[in-house]
Amino acid sequence: MLNLTRWCIAHRRRVFIVWVVVAVLTTVLATAAGRNYATNFSLPGTEAQRAIDLLQREFPAQSGDVDTVVFRVTNGTVDSPQVRDAITKLLAEVSRDPHVISVFSPYGGHGGVEISHDRTTAFATINYDKRAQNLPNSTGTSVLNQVKAVDVPGLTVAAGGQVISEAEGFSVGPATEIGVVAALVILLMTFGSLIAAGMPLLTAGFGLITATALIGLATHITSMSNVAPELALMIGLGVGIDYALFIVTRFRENYLALGDVERALIEAMDTSGRAILLAGTTVVIALLGMFATGVSFMYGLAIASVFAVLLTLLASLTVLPAMLSKFGHRIVPGAGAKRRRFGRRRATPDMDGHPDPVAAQSRSRWRQWSRTVQARPWPLAVISLGLMI
């Protein structure tokens, strides 16, 4: 660990360049190759799977996937001539696709369940001749393009289903974006420095960009669900920020006590770096346990998650030390004054004669809390267990 840290400090420019080149290269390759996600979620031995197998064997024409198109009118009803003509025209165009075996219009007289009581919302269903994983991507793309082409004032059209999801591909949803912004705000409040707050996010970003690209390339080698990138993104973002935060926090403590960036960084990596290496290895082993479930679609989720954890871990052990060696002196606002305060309450030096950064923080609130927990382990354990239950 120490040799790796010293190398990253001495060659920090090279570390940045390598990570940027790898991230860009894998992203370009993944974009050029495309993604081939699978949707064949089979659960051998279950009643649901037996029903699907029976349907495919006895009624192959009815065993394909079904998508839904929803129409919402904000001014008027779906019965207005302009809206009705637009919906009818759209469904007629969709039905021309060779893989569409039937389209049920809300105006088809199927009992009226396709139209809401206030006549402002309606839906249509599209039946395909095959499952989504066996259909060309152009089928779903064609439906999406036709839906987007509808241009009637007050009419909103949206399509959903497995075929549509395949055509849309993977994209970062608003929940992830909100999570990143929330993490940045919390880190900024914790550290009081934009540089310190941005380092964990930037470290996770390096790992996740590369991991997402590798997941896309892996879809051409093994069967992988289209939800795998999103799962990997959530797991990778969590562990990436956590690992980087662990190192940055320890570095700040050491820097305030020692006043030297390189010494503070080496000690932080020698302690926190080893800890996150063990933690990351444990997470990877746990994720590989998905292979023991015997459910095939879980294998792709395991592979994608392992990619995310390994690459964010690698980024935390390489690119983060490189960043800290360059900007470490700027991540503690008012570091000079804080070091003087630390100096006045430093504890006994360590065995090498250097100030002990842990002892220097003996009066911190978190250290006092840890002593409280150690003094009363059983009552607090019972309270924690009760809260979890």
Give the dihedral sign, CA 107/111/117/123: negative
pLDDT of residue 71: 93
For a pLDDT cut of 90, what percent of the chain falls above it? 27
Task: Indicate the domain borders of the chain.
Answer: 2-34+170-361, 66-160
The highest-level CATH class for domain 2-34+170-361 is mainly alpha
SS3 96: coil
SS3 366: helix
Q: What is the pLDDT of residues 192-246, one digit of tens each?
A: 778 888 888 889 899 999 999 999 899 888 888 778 888 898 899 889 888 988 8
Give the separation between CA 314 and CA 319, rounded to whole angstroms.
Answer: 8
Say if residue 354's pLDDT is above 80: no
Q: Is the pTM of this model over 0.75?
A: no
Give the separation between CA 159 and CA 166, rounded to whole angstroms.
Answer: 12
Which of residues 375 and 370 earns the better pLDDT score? 375
Domains 2-34+170-361 and 66-160 share a fold: no
For the beta carbon of residue 329, count every other beta carbon within 10 angstroms.
14
**DSSP labels, 236-293:** HHHHHHHHHHHHHHHHHHHHHHH--HHHHHHHHIIIIIHHHHHHHHHHHHHHHGGGGG
Q: Does domain 66-160 have CATH number 3.40.50.1100?
A: no
Give the separation between CA 190 and CA 105, rounded to whole angstroms.
Answer: 55
Give the separation between CA 60 and CA 75, rounded to whole angstroms.
Answer: 42
Give the separation between CA 152 and CA 143, rounded to whole angstroms.
Answer: 17
Give the separation between CA 170 and CA 385, rounded to whole angstroms.
Answer: 38
